Structure 1
């Protein structure tokens, strides 16, 4: 007699497959119990797929849409029929098998619009509204809601009262959603932990009220471009200065207030990415701030004056575990070894004559595990980098990422020497070696593959955009 796993045990096992959609789909075919559990997990966040015009993505969009149409109440189906909107549904009567809408914990209005527009170019608003109405009635506990309002395509989309949003923990939205939406949400949803706001040309009055009404806000992202100001919501944001631990600011405006960050004394992660000639004068006030719990600091693009950042590191570098800065400055690079002894993960740009600074960082930062650097064309020489890594990197070090902006200056003999040196290090660690926007010549590739097969390294190449996306997967998932 076959052994039957308890339902609770099977559920826990399949939960681990949440990100592995292909395997979860296979589980649907095992038996009815497996299907029931897998369906709930798959539909928890059904929008989590790449939406493009590739055939596979189009099939996925059509599959999701046809299933949703099949689950619409008869009133909605009749309305679409009367308006001569016909969308094929699965051969089997899926609506009698599962109520898919009630499984959803993540809802994206933009994804709904996107998959419907792939199939229907005209009068898609009617279909969108009927599907949203179904989700509104069926979802009893919503965890994440995403809605970036677009005037030109969303003017006829109606977001009704959403009782399931009382348990909402993540909100990603634009500032120009009609105020009525924010006011309603502020009345029922008081436990948002993450809010991400894209500031558009209009800022709804209800947005400030929504932010102010929260009790557990931990993560805040503010993004604004085209000279749109976020100053109007700062008083509501400061109300959460003791609970917010992750703050991300994105803009192209050098006039935006910046020093309000000084209030967030429990900050653990701080990212600010400003472009287009920003001068960061407001950061002059922030350089003296003290954030005793700060572990992640990322400044991907333009940077405040190096003396400001150095002073900031002097005050806050001791607890940093990750530092990412897109700045090439000798004094700033040297300050890392001095002020960031506990750093684990680092991205810094060196000039070609600064290999000794890299060596000093390796010697002084004894917990360093990963570094990303640029090589070639005015940056560090790759051969010198490899020699420094194998001879001076600390015992926990195991990941090297290199932007290579020119042809290789490393011979097969150099690679052999590097890998033999790495193999003989104590303690022994598998080295993760990544080339970004560059690939070695065939002769060197053979050496790399040889040591990959011997279990000395993990090796792969990435495009720049792929690496930038991966940067978001850091110590705080």
Structure 2
């Protein structure tokens, strides 16, 4: 039986994230090759970014691997140049005769994601022998090729040059859904974008005092903008000047002056992200009544976090499902709990990561947070919890019984400053096994926990006796124990443990 081409395409689509398997399918037969090439070439640059961390591999091996990848990729793209362009280039720089041949596929026609950094990297790796002499010429040729051949561009990181000087730029941008703009984007580019691009679903943009009104113009020109991501520009002038520019003379930012902007976004916006600082007042954020995801990351932020958090205290988002707060202050947990309290039983994911330099949490703030979760988050699926020794276990037990849909729980134990302090994990493990949601399959205990091999064995037996799904876990233990490792290996073979890590000096992994 021979499957129809449509069925093969549908099957291969499910392997879109598994590049290794797709590469193997290239060599199965002609039909498979025809179906695989468009999938692999949607975002050919992602292979560069998806590799393992530089520090987890041999640095020299990683360097040559990446260089070789970009060289091969670049030469394949050069083959896609029109014959007259290749002949013209060969008069200035040496091109291997094999590059003058026409490729089996017009590979670039399948590309859906382009950035200036990707094109610069192509240039540097394919034509490195020519230095900077022809760099701009080759860069222009690459962009011109993409403008003429790429018909389904979905993602674009806006380059520093005027993209609209290239013939075909308007057709090139006709199906764009994600656009990233940065501080050096000129007002003229924003104006051209507003005139020619109306299909954006996601806009990532850096805010500075030069582009505020042009951002609004671009937003108003979109038909159904669903995601907005703002980052504040790293200003080269003093902090007081920065504060005056972004916040004006009043307490709140001055990003949106046109009320039509808020009205338009209140209907379409689903995702709102802030990087480094919040650049909208609470009343504007609360106007986005259909918002389902709010993300804030203070990474590398100027010291405005206290004022930013005060904005959050007055935000009300009735349909919020995902809340992500990165590098935030522990001593403002009350404010984050208030933000959660202002939702209407809709939250499913809470992802809060505290700045490690912050002080300990108070008993009152933890209790308030846990009580809000218990009363306002019946559908919570991913939940972080912070515990101190003073928190009664009855509060945790009541919380676990209330969260009947939780799938992943992260429990941070906050000890005193003594490095020798640990907290007994046994009663926590007991509650997790017997009182938590039957949907729970991911447990992470972070901090200085203390448990014995018998404690862990009893926990796994309870988990097995409750006929729960296989467990992914991460446990910290300050004392190395070969007995604990053997017990975990046993239950891993039994299928009770799916995967996980026990942290000693060197983490012990189950995959």
- Bin the TM-score by the shorter chain: 0.7 to 0.9
Who is 1:146 aligned against? 157
Pairwise CA distance, 1:438 = 9.2
Who is 2:322 aligned against? 296
Who is 2:397 aligned against? 359
Shift of the 289–95 alpha-carbon distance from structure 1 to 2, 3 Å rule, reads same
Decide which of 191, 201, 206 is 2:199's aligned counterpart: 191
Please give the alpha-carbon distance, in whole angstroms, between the structure 1 residues aligned to 2:446 and 2:284: 35
Asked whether the equivalents of residues 186 and 209 of structure 1 are also in contact (C-alpha less than 8 Å), the reply is yes
Asked whether the equivalents of residues 177 and 204 of structure 1 are also in contact (C-alpha less than 8 Å), the reply is no
Asked whether the equivalents of residues 411 and 444 of structure 1 are also in contact (C-alpha less than 8 Å), the reply is yes
Decide which of 372, 387, 394 is 1:350's aligned counterpart: 387
Decide which of 410, 434, 449 is 1:391's aligned counterpart: 434
**Cα RMSD after superposing both structures:** 3.2
Please give the alpha-carbon distance, in whole angstroms, between the structure 1 residues aligned to 2:207 and 2:101: 40
1:178-217 equivalences in 2 (<5 Å): 178-199=186-207, 203=211, 206-217=214-225
Asked whether the equivalents of residues 231 and 277 of structure 2 are also in contact (C-alpha less than 8 Å), the reply is no
Shift of the 135–155 alpha-carbon distance from structure 1 to 2, 3 Å rule, reads closer
Who is 2:450 aligned against? 409
Query: Mind listing any 5+ residue stretches in structure 1 that lack a counterpart?
Result: 464-477
More divergent stretch after superposition (271-280 vs 122-131): 271-280
Pairwise CA distance, 1:305 = 3.7
Q: For 1:50, what is the secondary structure of its paired residue? A: helix
Pairwise CA distance, 1:289 = 4.4
1:12-31 equivalences in 2 (<5 Å): 12-31=10-29
Who is 1:467 aligned against? none
1:30-87 CA-partner distances (Å, limit 9, x unpaired): 2222111111111111121234753332222111111011211234324433433x46
Who is 1:125 aligned against? 136
Decide which of 242, 249, 257 is 2:274's aligned counterpart: 249
Q: For 2:328, what is the secondary structure of its paired residue? A: coil
More divergent stretch after superposition (176-185 vs 40-49): 176-185
TM-score (norm 1): 0.84
Asked whether the equivalents of residues 58 and 118 of structure 1 are also in contact (C-alpha less than 8 Å), the reply is yes
Decide which of 289, 308, 313 is 2:340's aligned counterpart: 313
Pairwise CA distance, 1:258 = 4.6
1:369-425 CA-partner distances (Å, limit 9, x unpaired): 211122474485434432221132122222112334x4x622211111111111111
Q: Does 1:265 align with 2:289?
A: yes
Decide which of 346, 353, 356 is 1:326's aligned counterpart: 353
Who is 1:67 aligned against? 76
Who is 1:368 aligned against? 406
Decide which of 175, 195, 211 is 2:183's aligned counterpart: 175
Decide which of 224, 233, 245 is 2:232's aligned counterpart: 224
Who is 2:122 aligned against? 115
Who is 2:465 aligned against? 424
Please give the alpha-carbon distance, in whole angstroms, between the structure 2 residues aligned to 1:403 and 1:276: 29
Asked whether the equivalents of residues 283 and 315 of structure 2 are also in contact (C-alpha less than 8 Å), the reply is no
Size of the aligned set, in residue pairs, is 450
Q: For 1:301, what is the secondary structure of its paired residue? A: strand
Decide which of 442, 460, 470 is 2:500's aligned counterpart: 460
Pairwise CA distance, 1:440 = 6.1
Please give the alpha-carbon distance, in whole angstroms, between the structure 1 residues aligned to 2:459 and 2:165: 60
Q: Does 1:56 align with 2:81?
A: no
Pairwise CA distance, 1:213 = 0.2
Please give the alpha-carbon distance, in whole angstroms, between the structure 2 residues aligned to 1:166 and 1:156: 17
Q: For 2:438, what is the secondary structure of its paired residue? A: coil
Shift of the 217–312 alpha-carbon distance from structure 1 to 2, 3 Å rule, reads same
Q: For 1:396, what is the secondary structure of its paired residue? A: coil
Asked whether the equivalents of residues 290 and 316 of structure 1 are also in contact (C-alpha less than 8 Å), the reply is yes
Pairwise CA distance, 1:191 = 1.6
TM-score (norm 2): 0.79
Shift of the 37–444 alpha-carbon distance from structure 1 to 2, 3 Å rule, reads same
